[in-house]
Structure 1
Amino acid sequence: MPTNEHPSLAITGATGHVGGAVLQRLRRSGLPLRLVVRDPGRAPDGADDVVAASFGDREAATAALRGTDVLFMVSAAESADRLDEHRTFIDAAVAAGVGHVVYTSFLGAAEDATFTLARTHWATEQHLRESGMAWTILRDSFYLDVFPLFAGQEGVIRGPGGDGRVGAVARADVARSAAVVLEDAAAHAGRTYDLTGPEALTLAEIAGVIAQATGRKTVYEEETLEQAYRSREPYGVPDWQVEAWVSTYTAIAAGELDVVTDDVERLTGAPPMRLADLLRGT
């Protein structure tokens, strides 16, 4: 049975970047860990307690979470039903008797946020706060790791981002911060942390850092809103996904991601990585 000194932890997202990195750190803590995954066949090697459940299956999720005290809830994969899945999973945690949820949200989550997916995070936060469980919210900025991917093989980051700045954070720094919180969740109850990198860069500056670190020409190409929607039409994705993609850039242009905090360093004792550090693998 879990105790206050050694609560059992349930971890979602262990097959992904952040959840997987958190798992590796917590394995060294000696705390009892349960992995809640959609496909047990993809669970990391060496996991003893693996339970299958999806966010949207309340019955399976309730069974999977029963007997755990703290839940690390990595936000679900982007989908049209994401908010419903989040609410269902939180309700399942309540039914299972979970005491504390640590949720990965988004920086500037708000009902009227420019970035459309930040609105979903805000609604999830509200549902969690009203659940009766203790909570801790990790509001992550955009991930530093994705900007080189945005440049693609062409070496061009395209979007309506203007001269806006973004204090993007490395996934590894989010994982470090989350692990610290989870090792003593009660000490962080009712807290919201804004996890950012150490600097806020324009997209042109980001392209310049990528070019310098990789030796490959990389530039930022400004698009109008009309151009942004048109250039994404060939992907054939639903409207909500296009809106999310485009609003990634318009949120930066609006200045909503021009935020730098010291939360990562205060939690972990070490400063977050710069983009140049990440690209050098340091």
Structure 2
Amino acid sequence: MTTLTITGSTGEVGGRVAHALAADGVAQRLLVRSASRAPDLPNTDVRVAGYADHDAAVEALRGTDVLFMVSAGESADRVEQHRCFIDAAVRANVEHVVYTSFAAAADDATFTLGRDHWATEELLRESGLAFTLLRDNFYLDVFELFADRDRVIRGPAGDGRVAAVARADVARVAAAVLREPAAHRNVTYTLTGPQALTLDQIATTLTEVRGEPYRYVDETLGQARESRSSYGAPDWQVEAWISTYTSIASGVLAAVTDDVERVTGTAPITLEQLLRTAP
């Protein structure tokens, strides 16, 4: 029996993965920062540790064969948290890590947080652990949230396209990999939706489905910084927000792949399908 440890079960992707495995009767260990927040699922063993808590993570991971590692929350020290956790996985004799990365991860990625993912991929490659990299495009689910109270999406994306993927499809791929991890060792998947859309097209789809007018306003870099100056966020976070749009403008997120369908046997959903089925 393969012992699976799932991180992120209190979140959007990890929670879907944990529920999917539980529905299949798969035993799993849930690694959470707070036991009270862990989902109540059958055949689960809850352990408590944070990514930066090395000793607790080593103990929590002992006996794990395959680890589903959802990337840590956005922070200035995210790579160091990942470094600590991967080292704990090595010390706990974990064999295989399935990591949620980014479609355009690179050491010089336009999307600044994509550099964190690249650095984490390098840590995994250097660790000696087997790995599966799920390189997710931006999540389809978030674009409606980018709109302000006037239903305007603002940012310097120009007419660039993004092949965004639904969180549900990422979770379906992750669950499929975890059911048969040996078949996916040392493989990288780039997970996208079925369409590459401009932000104008996303606004049009939101308008059609929600029945209220949405629109996209293209900003200059200066306008983007000014429009976000009142948030009180640190500079690294503001640059990350803006680079979400500039990465779309660059074209690196426009490629559509068939990896979701190849792994799961089912095509990924469109933005319209997501909006019509979302609660």
TM-score between the two structures when normalised by the length of structure 2: 0.98
Q: Give the C-alpha shift of residue 30 in structure 1.
A: 2.9
1:13 corresponds to which residue? 8
Q: Indicate if the aligned counterparts of 2:19 and 2:41 stay in contact, CA closer than 8 A.
A: no
For residues 186 and 237 of structure 1, the distance between their equivalents in structure 2, rounded to whole angstroms, comes to 42
Please state if 1:270 is matched with 2:266: yes
Q: Does 1:49 align with 2:42?
A: no
CA shift, 1:175, in A, is 0.3
Question: Does the 8 A contact of 1:94 with 1:133 survive in 2?
Answer: yes
Structure-2 separation of matches of 1:69 and 1:233? 46
* In 1, Cα distance between equivalents of 2:150 and 2:13: 27
1:156 — aligned with what?
A: 152
AA matched with 1:181: V
Identity among equivalent positions (%) equals 62
Alignment of 1:130-209 (within 5 A): 130-209=126-205
Among residues 21, 44, 48, which one is paired with 1:26 in the alignment? 21
* C-alpha deviation, 1:45, in angstroms: 1.6
Letter in 2 for 1:16: G
AA aligned to 2:9 is: A
Amino acid at match of 1:250: T
Partner of 1:3: none
Contact 1:29 1:183 in 2 (8 A): no
C-alpha distance in structure 2 between counterparts of 1:203 and 1:125, whole Å: 29
Aligned to 1:230, the other structure's residue is in SS state: helix
Aligned residues: 277
- Name stretches of at least 5 consecutive residues in structure 1 with no aligned partner: 1-5
What is the aligned-residue RMSD (CA, Å)?
A: 0.9
1:247 aligns with 2:243: yes
Q: Pairwise mapping of residues 17-166 of structure 1 onto structure 2 (< 5 A)?
A: 17-46=12-41, 48-166=44-162
Deviates more, 1:270-279 or 1:28-37: 28-37
Q: For residue 28 of structure 1, report the CA deviation from its aligned partner.
A: 2.7
CA–CA distance in 2 between the matches of 1:95 and 1:89?
10
**Secondary structure at the counterpart of residue 90 of structure 2:** helix
Divergent runs of 4+, >2 A: 28-32
Distance in 2 separating the partners of 1:110 and 1:152: 30
The C-alpha deviation readout for 1:59-86, integer Å capped at 9, x for no partner, is 0111110011000000000001100000
Matches of 1:127 and 1:183, distance apart in 2: 24
In the TM superposition, what whole-angstrom CA distance separates every residue of 1:112-155 from its partner, at most 9, and x where no partner exists? 11000000100000000111111000000000000001113211
Q: Distance in 2 between matches of 1:42 and 1:87?
A: 25
Indicate conservation of the 8 Å contact 1:37/1:43, yes or no. Answer: yes
1:74-113 CA-to-partner distances (Å, cap 9, x unmatched) read 0000001100000110000000010000000000100011
> What letter matches 1:98 in structure 2?
V
CA contact (8 A) 1:8 1:31 kept: no
- Asked if structure 1 preserves the Cα contact closer than 8 Å seen for 2:21 and 2:175, the reply is yes
Contact kept, 8 Å, 2:66 with 2:96, in 1: the verdict is yes
How many angstroms does 1:259 deviate by?
1.3
Query: Does structure 1 residue 226 correspond to structure 2 residue 222?
Result: yes
Separation in structure 2 between the aligned mates of residue 121 and residue 13 of structure 1, nearest angstrom? 16
The 3-state SS of whatever aligns with 2:228 is helix
Query: CA deviation digits over 1:249-272, x for unaligned, max 9?
Result: 000001111110000000111100
Farther off after superposition, 31-40 or 169-178: 31-40
Q: For 2:210 and 2:219, how far apart are their aligned partners in 1?
A: 24
- In structure 2, runs of 5+ residues without a counterpart are none
Whether contact under 8 Å (2:163, 2:192) holds in the other structure is: yes
**Corresponding position of 2:277:** 281
Structure 1 window deviating more from structure 2 (47-56 vs 236-245): it is 47-56
Letter in 2 for 1:38: R
